[in-house]
A and B are shown apart, each in its own frame.
Chain A
Amino acid sequence: MTSMKEATTRKSGGFSSLLKTLPLAPFSLVFIFFFCWPIFQIVKNSLDQGKGHYGLSAYRLMFTKPYMHAFATSLQLSFFSALTAGLIGAVVAFYVHRSSAGLKSTIAMLSGVLANSGGVPLAFMFIAAFGAQGGIVTILKKLGFDIYGAGFTLYSLTGLILVYSFFQIPLMVLVFTPALEGMRNEWREANNSLGGSNFQFIRWVLIPVLFPAFLASVLLLFASAFSAFATARALTGGSVGLVPLVIGSLIDGNVITDQANLGDALAVGMVVVSGVVMLFYGFSLRWARGR
């Protein structure tokens, strides 16, 4: 009798505590239906062989030359654009950090604005500036630098790195500046009073202290370049074979393959790559905070 009473109170306690978590319900529903469910569907589809059979043939095709080449190109683009923007952005952030408060907040605001610009308009802007007939190219030509004659073209990997820098450098300034706020002036004073040179300060104090935060920021840039789609599509129209562009043409039916679920396999491949990058991002963030 008592045990039954206990059971009912526990049950009603469970129900009312479930009722208390109601504020989490709308978020969870939207998240499950519009995020988890589509992701589950891609994984399931990528393994679907038709007629109720499941297997790996889409992945086998993914590991053939053309698609591996697309992954290699995407990784190359992400690596070089993250590294370029990361190094330049870190230097800019360092100089901004040492400036007056007014300049600091102006740069912070501009970075926030520029880091958000991307997509098709950005691609068109660069076509107007760095295209074969673009303003900057014409000016450089008049000055005697024929960059297109020297082999540069905007519609290439180099061109994409240039365009991505426009939002990646501000993004780097934005995410790297907080790490600089943790630096102490006393460190430099200690270095100087112990007879250390500027170079020694940078080499033995600044770089080791800031490296984890730098790595985390660069990994974030890497992930953002890896999944970028709109700018690359508008700029190259597909002449640079990046994985997101290949998936895009598979969805649009521009590329015919007898493996109907190749797109799903590539999509899962992208999730895996970017998952690994974000995992390392998490590690380096923890490393940076541990100091």
Chain B
Amino acid sequence: MKNRILNLSRYVILAAGLLFFVFPVASAIEFSLRSYGNKGHTFANYSWIFQQEDFFTNITISLKLAALSAVITLLTVVPAVTYLHLEGQRFKRIFEFLAILPLVVPVVSLAIGAQKAMPTFIQNSQYELAFFYVVIAIPYTFQSLNVGLTSIPLKTLVEASRSLGASFGRTVISVIVPAIRSAINAAIFLAVTLSFGEFTLTSLLHWETFPVWITRVSQGNVLGSIALSMFSLIGAWTLLILVQSAQNVRKKKVSKSDVEESEEALI
């Protein structure tokens, strides 16, 4: 009896939760299909999005910045965390502390500082944004790499490779990088999603990227702006779900093959 009540209350709570998230989405989709003057539902608001000439320009800019942030993360955060796990144990605590700090400083505060601190030649280039995106993402990228690397016996692997006569470069390319690949992928994914959606710093530094453009173009067309918002939200959700399920599949595969390997070792 008790269990049945508990089960029932569980379904009630899950259903209520689902409604809280599904209702606004469904209702906004319905709204985005409306037409001016109540002439029934159409896809006109969605085709309006693609008629905007700036649409593709801004998507391209955002994609470029996201790619650049990924590269910068790869060149800065990845070597640092890997090193901290291999040799730099004594610096680990300091860097872990530093990596939290961007979470403590609100992006608005960073923006006002960036506006004053950056030399003109940097302020004149839109690519300055990528560096700030990387910094804002550091608490997440650093942490995810840090956790990812803890589960790998990296030091043993490197020692084995070196004692078998591999050069340092060879060790990096054929031992370290393959071992930490999934941790790197997760960190890059975080950097890319953050930079693609960043609005606060970008708009306060007066640059236009896809999220900032949405706000500007929305001012003249209410229905269009809602269609555009739903387009970008659902696009982002689909992408996130695809990537996460791909990661889950890989995780399952890896754990399965690990088991098989250990079984083989036992035999």
Q: Is the interface of B mostly helix, strand, loop or mixed?
A: helix
Please tell me if the beta carbons of B21 and A275 are within 8 angstroms of each other in the complex. Answer: no
Please tell me if the beta carbons of A120 and B87 are within 8 angstroms of each other in the complex. Answer: no
CB-defined A-B contacts under 8 Å, sample of 5: A98-B6, A98-B10, A229-B199, A244-B108, A275-B104
A-facing mask of B92-133, CB < 8 A → 1, else 0? 000100101111111111111111111000000000000110
Chain A nearest CB: distance from B193 CB in Å?
6
Please tell me if the beta carbons of B236 and A129 are within 8 angstroms of each other in the complex. Answer: no
Chain B nearest CB: distance from A129 CB in Å?
4
Please tell me if A247 contacts chain B, counting CB pairs below 8 Å: yes
Please tell me if the beta carbons of A41 and B116 are within 8 angstroms of each other in the complex. Answer: yes
Please tell me if the beta carbons of A24 and B95 are within 8 angstroms of each other in the complex. Answer: yes
Please tell me if the beta carbons of A113 and B13 are within 8 angstroms of each other in the complex. Answer: no
Please tell me if the beta carbons of A38 and B30 are within 8 angstroms of each other in the complex. Answer: no
A31 to B105, CA, bound (A): 13
Chain B nearest CB: distance from A259 CB in Å?
14
Q: Which of A33, A119, A134, A278 contacts B103 (CB 8 A)?
A: A278
A114 to B241, CA, bound (A): 10
* Partner-binding segment picked from B56-64, B71-79, B156-164, B259-267: B71-79
Please tell me if B25 contacts chain A, counting CB pairs below 8 Å: yes
Q: Which of A26, A35, A45, A122 contacts B101 (CB 8 A)?
A: A35
Chain B nearest CB: distance from A88 CB in Å?
8
Q: Across the two chains, which residue of chain A brings its CB closest to B132?
A: A34
Contacts of B44 in A (CB 8 A): none
Interface residues of A in 118-140 (CB under 8 A from B): 118-122, 124-130, 134-136
Supposing A35-B135, A119-B199 touch, asked if A270 and B109 sit within 8 A by C-beta, the answer is yes
Chain A nearest CB: distance from B154 CB in Å?
13
Please tell me if B165 contacts chain A, counting CB pairs below 8 Å: no
Please tell me if B233 contacts chain A, counting CB pairs below 8 Å: yes
Apart from the given pairs A23-B83, A24-B80, A34-B134, 8 other A-B contacts in the complex at a CB distance below 8 Å: A30-B76, A92-B14, A99-B10, A113-B241, A121-B228, A125-B28, A267-B108, A270-B109
Q: Is the interface of A mostly helix, strand, loop or mixed?
A: helix
Contacts of A278 in B (CB 8 A): 100, 103-104
Q: What is the interface size of chain B, counting residues whose CB is below 8 A from a CB of the partner?
A: 80
Please tell me if the beta carbons of B72 and A116 are within 8 angstroms of each other in the complex. Answer: no
Please tell me if A20 contacts chain B, counting CB pairs below 8 Å: yes
Q: Which of B26, B115, B211 contacts A119 (CB 8 A)?
A: B211
Chain A interface residue count: which class?
35 or more
Please tell me if A8 contacts chain B, counting CB pairs below 8 Å: no
Chain A nearest CB: distance from B240 CB in Å?
4
Please tell me if the beta carbons of A120 and B199 are within 8 angstroms of each other in the complex. Answer: yes
Q: Across the two chains, which residue of chain B brings its CB closest to A223?
A: B103
Please tell me if the beta carbons of A120 and B104 are within 8 angstroms of each other in the complex. Answer: no
Contacts of B105 in A (CB 8 A): 35, 39, 271, 274
Give the one of A92, A230, A263, A278 with max B CB within 10 A: A230
